[in-house]
Chain A
Amino acid sequence: MPLLNQREFKADPWTFLDTSEPVPSGGDIVVPFERLVSDFKTLMLHDGQLGVAFPNNLPVTELEPYLQRLQLVTLDFPAFTDGRAYSQARELRTHFGFKGELRAAGNLLPDQLGFMQQVGFDYFEIADERFSLDAWLDAATSISLSYQPSFTSRSQMPISTARGLADTSAPDAEDWPEQPHYG
């Protein structure tokens, strides 16, 4: 499945393991949250990067004990109308300062991409092959301004910044490291 990041489709370098597949000796792996919890003692020693696929019906506070070890969190959109992962992403980025890769998976559509970038997602698993790269990019860049502070997207300028107001009032945004930008 192609991965959208920095304006292009890329191959996914991570290996997803389900609850029972054996852990390879190295390489970057993603495991379901339940396995992260049950096998954490082993997984934390894994020789490679570690990621988790986290469901959208649990509070992200449950991820807190593991975040130090995680380089990737995948959040789920079981249906594009189910917007819980937008809040989860925002909480991971702002409350817990998660700086790794934040990936959106599930039922993604081009017209939601802009919102996802604003709340902190930077990688997108594109399961739906109907849409061209241009369709994704055009939809995501159709609005160049935003009334809200934006965390990973440069394609949308916060209007408060444009008005010369919110230069400083967003400490979290300032702390925010340069993410691989999309816009």
Chain B
Amino acid sequence: MSETGKILTANRLNDGLVVFLSAANIWTRHINDAALAQEANAQSALAKRGEDFEAANIVTGAYLVGAERDDGEILPDHIRERIRAAGPSVHPGLLVENPHVSLR
């Protein structure tokens, strides 16, 4: 059974790498560990947490991404976000964090 909602992503300020905010309020490189907010209230709370982390200079450019979770795997709606999560589609193996994120 799949769930749809929004996840929060950003780039880490110090190294620029793509991160996702987990339910434990920790930034993770693994999209499948991201907190998926399904309700509107939860989504705006998530966005607010992103603003706080930006203000604290931990991450930059935080924003919500539409995504679907199926069997523990999170797949963003948009091709751009899938590439952000998985790494360049032309360099398989460069990013080992999320080898199974589908680009289709």
* Direct chain A–B contact by Cβ atoms under 8 Å: no
